[in-house]
Structure 1
Amino acid sequence: MSTTRLLLLGVVRIFQPAYGYQLRRELLTWNVQDWANINPGSIYTGLRTLAKHGYLVELEEGAGRKPGRTSYKLTTDGETEYFSLLRKALWSVDGFRPDQMQVALSFLWSLRRDEVLAALESRIVQLEQLAKAAPFAERQILEDPGTPDHVLEMLRISSARDAGELEWTRSFHTRVASGEYSFAGEPPQWQPQPGTSTHWGTIPDPPD
């Protein structure tokens, strides 16, 4: 749920105020149905749920509650929740939830470069620790007569994912440290194509 919440809060933050159908259309261009385990039909429900909990404010036009006629903005609590979830996804390694880092990558530009570098360094340490512990976890499985043999492969595939992420994180850290990409408080390196939303040309500063 936290991954979905971060994704919805983040996309509202980019385009606010934005209509539900606009947000749904944008998220579908990100292929969230494939990597974030989000049913496109549940996006409207998720937006209304966030509004119910005080993270979004609904700005309705006309009579009724048609999802496409309702626009959304983050509340103060929504802004706080957004950064809290983003930092949790960035600073925490969970090999069984790769979607968390996928979502964090979608919104890293809303953090400052020094924090992103520090978080990546923390992730490298966490992943190195997991690699160091893996042989002992394997030994425990092999020595436990009550654990089926195939469980060992479940551990190994998880370790392989962690090893791949470790290699990528080291490389990504090098790119960020060398000045690639743009982050909060910096001029944007990427510009949207003519005719697309001008919101993509602005990187808002995070709150102090």
Structure 2
Amino acid sequence: MSTTRLLLLGIVRIFQPAYGYQLRRELLTWNVQDWANINPGSIYTGLRTLAKHGYLAELEEGPGHRPGRTSYKLTQDGETEFYSLLRQHLWTVDGFHPDRMQAALSFLWTLQRDEVLTAMENRITQIEARLAAAPFNERQIQADPGTPNQVVEMLRITAARDRGELAWTCEFRDRIANGEYSFAGEPPDWNPDPALIAEWRDRPTS
């Protein structure tokens, strides 16, 4: 749920004010239905839920408003929640929910470079600690007569993911340190295409 909330708040933040149809189409180009386990049909529900809780403001078109033409923008509470979730996902390693870091990657450019670098160093330390503890966790399972032997493979597949993420994190940290990508307070290396924004704004819903 927190990954979905971060993605919805983040995508609204990029394109605001933006229609639900535009936001849904954009998220589907990110293949969120595959790696974030988001049902495309639930995106509209998620937007309405965030608005209900005060994180998004709904902007209707006035007289003649048609269903499906409500646009959204972040409220101040939504901005606060966005950064809270982003930092939570960035600074916390969760081997069973790799989608959280993937979601954070989409919005790292909203943070300053020094924070992202420090977070990468912190993630490296966390992953190394997880890998160091892995053999002892295996030993505990193997010594427990009440646990099936093959359960240890659950730990091993998680450790394999950790080793892969550790290698990537070290490489990503080095790329950031060498000046790649753009972060908050720096000249942007990407902006939404105004023509695309206009296309989604003007496209009919039926």
3-state secondary structure, aligned to 2:96? coil
3-state secondary structure, aligned to 1:69? coil
| 1:72 equivalent in structure 2 | 72
Q: Which moved more, 1:137-146 or 1:6-15?
A: 137-146
Residue 23 and residue 194 in structure 1: after superposition, are their counterparts in 2 closer, same or farther (change >3 A)?
closer
**Structure 2 CA distance for aligned equivalents of residues 194 and 48 of structure 1:** 25
| 1:108 equivalent in structure 2 | 108
What's the CA shift for 1:63? 5.2
3-state secondary structure, aligned to 2:41? helix
- Over aligned residues, Cα RMSD in angstroms? 1.6
Superposition map of 1:55-204 within 5 A:
55-61=55-61, 62=63, 66=67, 68-190=68-190, 195-197=195-197
| 2:204 equivalent in structure 1 | none
User: Unmatched 5+ residue regions in structure 2?
Assistant: 199-206
**Structure 2 CA distance for aligned equivalents of residues 171 and 118 of structure 1:** 14
Matched residue count: 197
**Structure 2 CA distance for aligned equivalents of residues 125 and 95 of structure 1:** 14
| 1:50 equivalent in structure 2 | 50
Residue 155 and residue 65 in structure 1: after superposition, are their counterparts in 2 closer, same or farther (change >3 A)?
farther
What's the CA shift for 1:60? 1.2
User: Unmatched 5+ residue regions in structure 1?
Assistant: 199-208
3-state secondary structure, aligned to 1:40? coil
Structure 2 residue identity aligned to 1:24? R
3-state secondary structure, aligned to 1:162? helix
Structure 2 residue identity aligned to 1:189? D
User: Percent of aligned positions with the same letter in both sequences?
Assistant: 75
Q: TM-score, normalised by structure 1?
A: 0.91
Q: TM-score, normalised by structure 2?
A: 0.92
Q: Contact (CA 8 Å) 2:15, 2:192: kept in 1 or not? A: no
**Structure 1 CA distance for aligned equivalents of residues 170 and 66 of structure 2:** 47
**Structure 1 CA distance for aligned equivalents of residues 65 and 161 of structure 2:** 48
What's the CA shift for 1:189? 2.4
What's the CA shift for 1:188? 1.7
**Structure 2 CA distance for aligned equivalents of residues 157 and 175 of structure 1:** 27
Superposition map of 1:20-35 within 5 A:
20-35=20-35
3-state secondary structure, aligned to 2:106? helix
What's the CA shift for 1:190? 3.7
Structure 2 residue identity aligned to 1:78? G
**Structure 1 CA distance for aligned equivalents of residues 132 and 69 of structure 2:** 53
